[in-house]
Each structure stands twice: as structure tokens, then as C-alpha cells.
Chain A
């Protein structure tokens, strides 16, 4: 299908927008054109109201109260664990660890597997990774004498399976890659990546921060050892994330944090840790956020239908096509199969200028290195502009953005 001539209607996104207060706010003179969902998604009213209701009526600590209110909070909190389990097709709810976000989840693994890492071990990381999937491994390497090696990219900025295959001959201990890259939106062949890693017994971690809001996920089928994601990029609250792991892998992790409900017994001579999942959830967890996340999952399950996914994909292709029509523009790794993200620069212009001038027109996009400096170095860029879509993004958003970008170009041309 030729996307240049394709009509790009977004009726499902239009219908869903009233559920998002920030997008529908009438206080602003100009409506917000929010194209930065890859940084954080807007939140539907159901999530906001659920969290408010928790604080208004149900607030109490979990796992310790002898009273009804706490028992109820615990029950609701644990229900969300069950919900997450079903959402990502994990086998047991104890495989779902609540964290404060993707970054914390990766740090928990990179810290937790330290006893399994020895000097000279190899850790493979995708060049297009977010810093959160690079730095914790570098730190682990520093502590243990292991070595982090970057898996290369193809000339069109995709995951290079050939480079990966070659690096696998070094028998890496760990392979950590994003499911979808945050700066470009390219989709990594995670099934193949995991399958090949298993042949050399490498532990696999998939950073799914950019994936969960856009596509269905089945971690049991994928068969990775760890899968991590954040609530706030999937229409849920900030401050909550998920670490999924195979039970044996989670049990082998040394806890990054200790104290609170992860404890079984404590004396000054010796402390023993409790069982999963509590073992990896030290301190009072983000209870309201977890409960809000439950609503976000419900929201995705009810609304991210195959039809809506197709609409979002068509919208991305429309965006790519509209951008490509502009003069003096360069797109990076822009493939039709990408998910929700386009990265670009106007030639000879600084990405920050573009961001500021779009902001003047109420367009919210991200301009910078996108916490992916090694990728920027690979592309030989200081940074770039990133437009990203969500379930509420419409053709009108894209048209408004393109018009605004043309106005920026005109101003530069003067």
C-alpha cells in the first residue's frame, strides 16, 4: 500500500481522547499536541480516579496490618500482580516483582546476578540501548572485571544479527537488549535474540519499556529470563515498574535492597530473606501506583485492540511519509515496521532550536540524545528530534505538527 496516498483516518484515537484530561484540557488557548509518549504517556481518567480513590478511602500499608483496611489494600495490591501476570502471560504471579520503574528493574538484575559473574565474563548490550540498559552493566563489569560489548547495528540502524552471532561465539554470560529502541522505534528480533542466547546459556534481559503500550506480549513464549517495563509509559502512573523473571533466575538474584517486608527473620547475628516475590520488594512499595497500574492494564486490554494497533501503525507510516516530503530533512532508522517513534533532524539546524520553536506552537516532542549517546555516536549526531505516538494520537496531531515544522523551516530560511 502506498502510504503517500493512503487516507489516514484515526477514529479510534479520536474516540479515546476524551478519557485523557491533559489532552482535553480547556484551560489552554491552543490544544496540546502531545507527541512525546515515548518519554511518558498521558494518563486516562480511570487511572487517576482509581489512585485518588485509594488515597481517599483505602490508604493503608500492605502485608502487615491486622486490620481490615490493610488487608483490603494488600488484596488489591496482590490482585494487580495477578493482573500483570495475565497481561504478559507469565506462569506464576511470584514472577512479577513490583519495582519503581524499568531503570530500577535493570539495576536489580545487574546487581543481583553479580555473584554469578566472574572476571572476563562477557555482557552483550545493544548499541541502540537506552543508558539504563548500558550503565548498570558497565557498573557490574567494573565491580567484577567482566566486559561489556556492544552488539552492532546495520547500516539502516537495525539490530545486526550477524554481529550478534559473532559475539555469541565468545559465550557471553548476559544478553541485554531493548524490545523496541527508545530513540528510533526500531523493533528488535527478540525471539531470535533469546533463542540464540539460550544456545550458549546466556541470561537474557529484554527492556520492554517502549513495547508494552503498543503491542501484546507473551513472556512465556518469548522465553527470556527477564523482561522489564515501566508503568508510566503504558498509561499508568510514574514510580512503578515491573521486573518479570523466570522463577529460578529471580531466586538466584541477590537483593539490591534489603529491609522491610523482604525479611523473614532478623537477629544481629543473622538475617534470612523471605520468599518471592517479597524477597525482591524491600520497603513499603508504591501501593497507590501499583493499584493505578492495574487500571492502566485494564485500559490497554479494553482499548488496544488489533484495530487500534493497525490504526496506530498506519498513523506512524503517515507521519514518516509526511516528514519525508519535507525538504532538508533526515530520518534515522525509519522503517515501516517501527513502533510509535520517528527520529529526525532538519539538516544544518540544531535539534534544540527545533524543539523550542515547536514548543512555541504547543507541540511537545523530545529533542536531545534520548539517553542513547552510544547510538547518537553511531549515527554521528549530537542529538535529534523524536516524535512519538500513543493510543490517543490522531491524524490531526500529525497535521498540526507538520504545519508547525514547516513554519519552523520558514523561519530558519529567512
Chain B
């Protein structure tokens, strides 16, 4: 395994670059979109609630590979130059955002209703109350489940391998098929994924601890 890692190190690094960029882009994108749809589903306005619900249920219940394939195979007819990396990352963003929306919604709903009522009766608008009172509390609550989603996101980025997206898994496939050393290669690939996801896990745990003490004061 060491020899595979040293011989093909540039290829692994190339793969790591793509996996990392896809993950970071998808993390930011899915957090924003997820938050928007979470605010939709808890909104007092019914049309927004319905739109949010439809979005979440559709993309939460379709396999990621299908969503990603859709953007790789079908969408280029309408949007030219949608390559494997872009298509895969868009797929990741949409798929993950549905889960993040559900997570954040649960967090918001776990904040006591009295908080919103108190804020409103103090003269805050709905948006102000959400922005300054409810969301900060909700985000603290959802950090652990959100961390899970992020770790999943990094692992799920291996979907790029099916779209010739040059990620770690794709490079692994190529190395395995050139060297025929399948076990060693996938072992190396697994380790590199661990190197990406483990620090993320620990960062989330650190944040969890840090924030929960903050909330207890």
C-alpha cells in the first residue's frame, strides 16, 4: 500500500484536490440552500411551506447518484459545458441541502415557542425575531446533526467518480485498473478519505462542546 501511495502520490493529490473543492463548495451551497428551505417549511405563509416541503421530500428521497446523473446526462442539453465535476457538485448541493433543511427545521422547532412570542411582543418583526432570537439558538442545537451531514457530504462526493469528476475515488479506480493492485489502492483511498473526514468529525465535536458551554451561561 505504501508503494501505491508513493508511486501514484501526484494522482492521489489531484483526486484530493477535486474531492476537497467539491466538498467545500457543496458544504457552503447546501448550508445556504438548506437554511432557505428550512425557513420555507416553518413559514407562516402556506405557499412557501408547500414549496419547501416538495423540495425536501423530492430530493431527500431520490438517490444521490440519480440526481447527479440527471445533471450530468440530461441537463447538458439545456446548459452546455456542464462537466462531470460541476454536475456532481450541483447534485451534491441539492441532495445535501434537503437533509440540511430538515435538520435545521427540527432545530428551529425545538426552540421554545415562547422565545418567538416574547420577541414579537417586544416589537420585533417575524424576520427580526427569527434572525436574532430563534436562529442563533437553533443553530447551536443542530450542530451535532449538521456535523453528520457534513461528514456524509465528504463521503458522498465519491459520486463524482461515476461522472469522470477526477475526485479521489475516480483516481483510485484508474490506479486500481492500471496497477491491478485493487486491495492496496482502495485501502489507500479509504485512508485518504479518513484523513479528510476525521478532522471534520473532531472539529464538529469541538464546536459542539464550545457552543454548548456558551449556551449554558
A and B are partners in one complex rather than unrelated chains: no
Q: Which residue numbers of A lie inside 8 Å of B, CB to CB?
A: none
Q: Which residue numbers of B lie inside 8 Å of A, CB to CB?
A: none
